[in-house]
Amino acid sequence: MTGPHTQLVTCLVGWGDVHNARAVLSDPRSAGLAIYGFVKPQADSLPLPIGEYLGKRIDDFQGNDRNLATFVRFFNGLPFDTVK
């Protein structure tokens, strides 16, 4: 069912290097999207601590971690080039 509060939701994590979360979230056409992510449960699928994602540039990560580093900045209102 759709109604006045219907929102398009898209997944940006879970496909490793196939999705580029930074490119999607930087695109003005994505402004109305609700964003979420998931990964297939595996031995290395748990996210790193937030401090690790903020401690390096987004491009220093690979696969899902690159997208998660993007999410950490996006959901906290930080510029994508933030490194703490």
Residues 61-71, mean pLDDT to the nearest whole number: 89
pTM above 0.85, yes or no: no
**Across the strands, what pairs with 62?**
none
DSSP 21-42: HHHHHHSGGGTT-EEE------
Handedness of CA 60, 61, 62, 63 (dihedral sign): negative
Task: Find out whether 46 and 38 touch, Cβ atoms under 8 Å.
Answer: no
- Reported as a single tens digit per residue, the pLDDT across 14-64 is 666 677 889 989 999 988 888 887 777 777 778 899 999 999 999 999 888
Q: Give the pLDDT score at 18.
A: 73
Handedness of CA 44, 46, 51, 53 (dihedral sign): positive
Strands 34-36 and 9-11, how do they pair? parallel
- Which residue's entry shows tokens 């994505």? 30
13 pLDDT more than 90: no
